Each structure stands twice: as structure tokens, then as C-alpha cells.
Structure 1
């Protein structure tokens, strides 16, 4: 019995006291992980996960697919082509590519060291691929260092491949052979091939970065902003020392903490995120829903155009701060013929724009909200007619057919008009007339109140005459 095989029995039996001739710590640690995962040392083969039809699509979508030619040439150039098998896996240990002489491949097929089989530690136990992926570094597993007895005639050297963009392991390169030990040059070759692939991935990443910077650098002007990739790498920032650091990027509209502790909100640019610094602990949402202009939201300084349906939903949530059920929202928008499924779909899209400030069950806004129509109502309530009329850009969502929106729209317009006629001065009346409403009583009051020679008096008279003629 070899030195390594004698050392295995106490660990497999649960004895925590390793013998004096225990194998390398990297091996004993791997045995413990494998046994804890329930791996049977008497297993006959690795499990098959991908069949021949499935693996074709998996390969095509994997980032190492375009680097296969380089890996093949690098490994074939130094390895003994007559004795070794080249294996490339994904991050989960699935063999995607396997190449080597026919005799070696025939023996490898018997243990599942072939395309479509999984060689993670938790499925096969200690082995070059699985252990390299577990520890995140290169490793060489010789013969009886494997946990599974069926692998004792094999030795392998493997190294994980890390994507420099995400910082995550995306695969593993392995060289295996039916020998009791591998030459140190083979071990170095596996690691060199992994590093060469990472270098190529880095070149590709820098090219993408240059294109992103050229497209979005102009967005960094003005207030404090940070441009990051969708994987969280900082491409441009002030201070510049943040470059190449990583930030956990939230979904669009959510908040993130910058390296200096400030809070920023993520704006999704599609191929990158723009992080805008904001003040305060809660998100701030401003709604502009009055008048004929396109309704919009301003979330922590970021302007977001709104569709009519999204504007209606936001107005309803503002009017019902404690929240509405899906069915209630549907009724307010569509009446008895409303379909809650449609509302759910619109809420999902709205959350894609605004993030977590839109809550569900019930639908409500979880942020500091300022809405122009509410501000007009507040000013009218305090008797500030001048302030209200200057903020009033026109009726609330004039194109909306929602019964709830119509009630709020008509009530707000009626209150404003009543107070204007009761105590508004000529400037207030003129400001209201600029909203586009040819209100004959307002225009008549203007014509009577403004002095002769005032161009606004002439304009009011002309509009009053035109309105009477059209009527």
C-alpha cells in the first residue's frame, strides 16, 4: 500500500488524527470536502450531465470557445502528445472539450473523463479539475492522491481560468495522463495555458472598455458621477484612483455605496451603469404630470420619461400612499373591464425603470415623493394662489381616461379656477391663461383688469373674441 493510500483510511473513517506520513494538506483538505459531500471512494465514473446534442450549445455560448485554438496549440506544443489528454471545463467542472491520442481517450472514456461529464469535487472527489476549481488555484493530483480508487492509475495537473472582467472563475484547463506522476513541466504548462488565456481575455476587456468610454464619457460632466461596467468595474471616476476597483452594482434605480462612503443611484445605460451621487438616506422621486408635455419622473436627479400608463399608475400610488392591490389599481385605471394581469405587467416594467422605490403587495411608493399636482393643491390650501398658478402647467394627465385621474384633474382645476376668480390678480390670471385654456370668464376678467396699452390686454381680448367665434 502506498503512502497516500494508507493515509486515506483514517480520514474516510472519520479519524481526525492524521498519521505522521499524511499526504499534502491540499490533498487531505480535498478528501475531507469530498467525503463531506458524500462522494463514494468506490465510484466507477464521473456522472454524465450533458448529452451530445446539449453540449454543442453549451460550448458555443461559453467564453472559452473562441480561445480554444490558442489553448490547443499551447498545450500540444509542450505536452507529450502520445501520453496526455487535454481537457477544458467550465466553472462547474463540466468537460466541454477533451482531446488526445485515441488510446488515452479510450481509457478516459471508461472513467467519464470525456465531454459532457462533470468533474467537480462534490461529484468525483479529489481530482485535478475539481480541486483546482475548489481552491481557485493550480494543483497537481498524483495517482493515489485521488479519493476514488478508480482514478489511482491517473495523474493530472490543472489550473483555473479567471475572467478579468467579472473576477470569477469561468473554467479550468487540465492535462491528464495514465502515469503515477507528472513531469513538473506538465504542471507548469497547465498554469501557463491558463495565464495565457486570461491575458487574451484581458485584451478583449480593454477593447470593450475603450468603446464604452468613447460612448459614455460625456455623461461624466457635471455632478459627481462614476461610470462602471455591468460587472461592477469602475471605468471612470473622480477621484481617478477608483479606476479598476469593483462596486457591487444594483439594479437600475437602486442605491449603491461608493468607495468613499457616499450614496449613488445606478442609471442603466444598457452596456454600463452611470452612478450619480445623491444626498439623504431615502430615494427622492419627483413627478411632473401636469400639462400637455410628456410626463416624467426625476429619481434622485435622473430624468425618466414616462408612458401615459406608467404616469397613471404613479399618480394613483401618490393619491393612495398606503397602497393599492392589483385589483384596485385595475379598477381605477380600466373600470369594471380592467384586467389585473395587464396591471401586473405594467408594474413590472415600471419597476424596471424606477427600481425598488415601487413596492408590491400592495402597490405603493417607498421614497420621498414630490408631485407637481400635489404641490399645486398644497399651495391652494395655504391660500398661495400666485404660487399655485405658476406651478400649474395645465390639467393633470389630460389624455388619461382613468376615472380616478379624471376626478383629481377636474377637482384640482375647479379649485384653482375658483380661487383665481376670487382673489387672483392680473398676473395670476395671465399665468393661468398661458396653460392654453381659453376660459371666457378668465379672459374677460383679464381684459377688464389690465390697463389700456398692456399687450396682454390685447391678447386676452383677441383670444376671447376667437373663443366666442369658434363657439
Structure 2
């Protein structure tokens, strides 16, 4: 989980050694020890972004109205009691604070030791502040937002010198309905109070919070099923009721699918869904009634745009005679489509496993992910080998800075492309 000696300097090493490693790295000389790989990669990113290693580049606090708006708009607000119950008492006893941010790295909630909160205020670690990497450099919150993995950052592993008196453990929190990154849960305090179990605790409580979100989601799907079942019973042909994220609540006249990929801008009326063909959508409370018209998707999808230009969001847009359709991609699906966009002649499952994991034997994982992708992109992706279908024009939109290409990814093919 990012503690101990995994791939470089031990996070529990002396503050003096950590500081020596940082200073040598920033000066471009050979450090006495290698930093952890995750820390070294983050230092490279923020150096390239021009973050001041002495003071960072704070961009001000959000106003009270904007903080409240973000709190009300975030699903995290509903599970905040779960996070507080699991972390605040422990954080308070250990002279730490619990912090919860949104997906932009903006601090929305903060609780725990009053003395540590006052110390955090002097650092700018206050509600409304941005703790993204490109603002304050390497830190548990900002770096976890990039890597999408739990992380502890201690003392001089922080890029900005004024943060060296702190230790922070953070875990990303995802929406189980669609995999969307909601924010980060963090426990921070004085560096002298570092405890090896803090990161495990933060990660475990975050998983409990995600499980609570999942339970609430399925309760909502059950409610939609009860409401939609009588409507579907009166409909001839193929139809299904889905929630706003495409999860199937009820179905008639067709084999049920766990989930239907909906366009980013879902609307009522006639639309094309790659997995179903031409459909008609009608709004339901909490979801959509989708009638399948029986017409297949037109031969040849026309054009596919894989947009990887934004570090935290990857999308695919499919355009054809029936119109266009856009969906946000999961990190793994973004990696797979990136490889297929590079190799228009196709890749075998073993080749893709090597591209993504550096291990050609991990074909089961690759096949499972591609099966999901092909359900969502029927007519766009072919197999044997896996590739974009013939006649499909593919445009790959990369970020201006190669280091921003899928920054969460450690896939060998992505690392090579950044280089």
C-alpha cells in the first residue's frame, strides 16, 4: 500500500536521509538512495510543471458558497458519517486530522485535532484549498489523485519544503456505480507521529465507505425495478429500465444485461446505443425506459475519437450515420483503446497482456475487459485479433505534455509513450 521498502528508499527512513535524496534529485545529481518509484515519478511531474520546491504555488481558497455547492453535489456527503466514525477518533487521538477532498483535490471537509487544524491553517491546508500535485507538488492527496492508489507520503518525500514536517496517508474514493473518482480520503499530522498502520486504516475505511455507496445504489435499483416492472409488462417487444448510470433494473423481451453504456449527454427521444442499436428513451424517476427499435447499428461506425488529452478524464466518441455517442472510460478501458489505436492491425490477448502488465500470461484479465468493451462498442471493435473494425476512422487525441498521458497508468506501453 505504499509503506515500507517496496521499490527504493524506505518511507520510514530518517528525515535527514529523505531530505538528502530530495535535494540531490532536485539538483540533478545522484542521490544517496533512490526514492520510491511512485515518489520519483511524482517529483518528475511536478518539476516539469514548474512547481516551486520551496513554497509551491497555492491558487487561493474557494469561497464559502462554492465549497457548499461542491459538498451538496458530491455523493461523499451522504457517507461522511462512515468516514468520521472510522477515522476521526483515531486521528484525534494520534494528533492527526481527517481530510476529504473532491476529484479536483479541493478540501471540502476537515475534522480531528484542533491543534493540528490550526497548524494546517498556517500551511494553507484548509477547507477550500487545492492539494493537487500541480499546485502543491508531491503529497498523498494530489499524488493519489494521479495514481488512483492508496499512498503514504512522509516528511521530505513531499516536494515542497514547507511540508516536510508532515506525514500524510490517503486513499482514492470511487463511485461504485460508474467507477468515477469522487475524491480522496486523507489522514495527516506531524511527521513525528508516523504510524505504519495509518495507510492500511485509511484504505480500509475508504473501502467501507465505497461499500455503503454500493449498497445505497442497489437499493435505488430495486426501487426502480418495483416502479418499472408494471410498465414493462404492458410493453410489447424489447425494452428495459435502467438507472441514470445504465444499470439494468428490469427487462422484457430480451436477455438481461447487467449494464448498458449510456452516452455522456443522455436525452429523451431516438438515439443510437452501440450495444443495442437504435432505441427510444423515455425518462423515468431515477432512470430511463429504453425501447429497442429492432434496427441494428448502421454498418461501419464511421469515426471514433479517443480523447486522452485531459489527465483525469478519458472519453471515446463514436460517430456514424445514426449520430454520435460519447462515454467516459475507466482507466483500464482507456489503456486498452490506446493500445488498439496504436496498433490498427490488431493485438492478441497475450500481446495486450504484455502491453498492459508486462506479463503475457495475464490473458484472462485482458479478455474479460475486452468483452465488456465490445458489449459497449458493438460494431466498433473486432476480435481475432482484437482491433478496431475495418472502415472505422480512428483519431487519437493525446495531451500536449507527454507526461500527462494517462498519468495513473503504469502499463509498459504507456510508460514508453510518455518517454
Q: Relative to structure 1, is the Cα distance of residues 281 and 258 closer, same or farther in structure 2, using a 3 angstrom cutoff? A: closer
Instruction: Report the alpha carbon displacement of residue 176 of structure 1 after superposing the two structures with TM.
Output: 0.3
Instruction: Check if 1:33 corresponds to 2:32.
Output: no
The answer to whether the 8 Å contact 1:142/1:181 transfers is no
The aligned counterpart of 1:155 is 167
Aligned residue number for residue 234 of structure 1: 248
- Residue 160 of structure 1 aligns to a residue in which SS? strand
Q: Is the 8 A contact 1:235 1:244 kept in 2?
A: no
Separation (CA, whole Å) in 2 of partners of 1:48 and 1:231: 34
Structure 1 residue 109, shift from structure 2 partner: 0.7
Q: Does 1:269 align with 2:284?
A: yes
Deviations 1:173-199 (A, max 9, x none): 110011156212211121122112112
In 1, Cα distance between the equivalents of 2:227 and 2:47?
52
**Equivalent pair of 1:138/1:158 in contact (CA under 8 Å):** yes
Q: 1:128 to 1:254 in 2, by over 3 A?
A: farther
Q: Report the Cα distance in structure 1 between the residues aligned to 2:240 and 2:30, rounded to whole angstroms.
A: 52
1:253 to 242, 247, 269: 269
The Cα of 1:61 is off from its aligned counterpart by 3.7
CA contact (8 A) 2:87 2:202 kept: yes
Match in the other structure for 2:187: 175
Aligned to 1:87: 99
Q: Which has the higher contact order (CA 8 A, sep 6+)?
A: 2
Q: Which structure is higher in helix share? A: 1
1:202 aligned residue? 214
Could you tell me how far apart the structure 1 residues matched to 2:147 and 2:20 are?
Answer: 24
Distance 1:181 1:45, change over 3 A: farther
* Larger CA deviation: 113-122 vs 238-247: 238-247
Partner of 1:371: none
Distance 2:24 2:156 in 1: 15
**CA-CA distance at 1:30 after TM superposition:** 1.6
Conserved in 2, the CA contact under 8 Å of 1:256 and 1:266? no
**Matched residue count:** 283
- After superposition, the C-alpha distances for 1:287-331 in whole angstroms (9 at most, x for unaligned) are xxxxxxxxxxxxxxxxxxxxxxxxxxxxxxxxxxxxxxxxxxxxx
Deviations 1:429-460 (A, max 9, x none): xxxxxxxxxxxxxxxxxxxxxxxxxxxxxxxx
CA distance in 1, matches of 2:274, 2:57: 48
| 8 Å CA contact retained: 2:20, 2:32 | no
Task: Tell me how far 1:9 sits from its aligned partner.
Answer: 4.7
Does the CA contact (< 8 Å) of 1:232 and 1:248 recur in 2? no
Corresponding residue for residue 81 of structure 2: 69
CA distance in 2, matches of 1:248, 1:20: 51
Q: Deviations over 1:131-150 (max 9, x none)?
A: 11111121111111111111
**Structure 1 residue 138 and structure 2 residue 154: aligned?**
no
Counterpart of 1:129? 141
Question: Is residue 3–residue 22 contact of structure 1 (8 Å, CA) maintained in 2?
Answer: no
| Alignment-derived partner of residue 416 in structure 1 | none
Distance of aligned partners of 1:180 and 1:58 in 2 relative to their CA distance in 1, 3 Å threshold = same
SS in 1 for 2:93: coil
Cα RMSD of the aligned pairs, angstroms, is 3.0
| 8 Å Cα contact 2:165/2:191 also seen in 1 | yes
C-alpha separation in 1, matches of 2:97 and 2:134: 22
1:406-421 aligned at under 5 Å gives the runs: none
Q: Is the 8 A contact 1:258 1:264 kept in 2?
A: no
Match of 2:338 in 1: none
Looking at structure 1, the residues matched to 214 and 17 of structure 2 have their Cα atoms a distance apart, in angstroms, of 42
Residue 281 and residue 163 in structure 1: after superposition, are their counterparts in 2 closer, same or farther (change >3 A)? closer
Cα distance change, pair 258–8 in 1 and its aligned pair in 2 (3 A): same
Q: Which residue is equivalent to 1:192?
A: 204
**Which consecutive residues of structure 2, in runs of 5 or more, have no partner in the other structure?**
1-14, 299-321, 325-419
Task: Give 1:271 shift.
Answer: 2.7
Do 2:88 and 2:97's aligned partners in 1 also have CA atoms closer than 8 Å?
no
Contact 1:34–1:121 under 8 Å retained in 2: yes
Q: Deviations over 1:40-91 (max 9, x none)?
A: 1121674333134542343344322232233222113433525111111111
In structure 2, distance between residues paired with 1:153 and 1:128: 14
Q: Is the 8 A contact 2:46 2:134 kept in 1?
A: yes
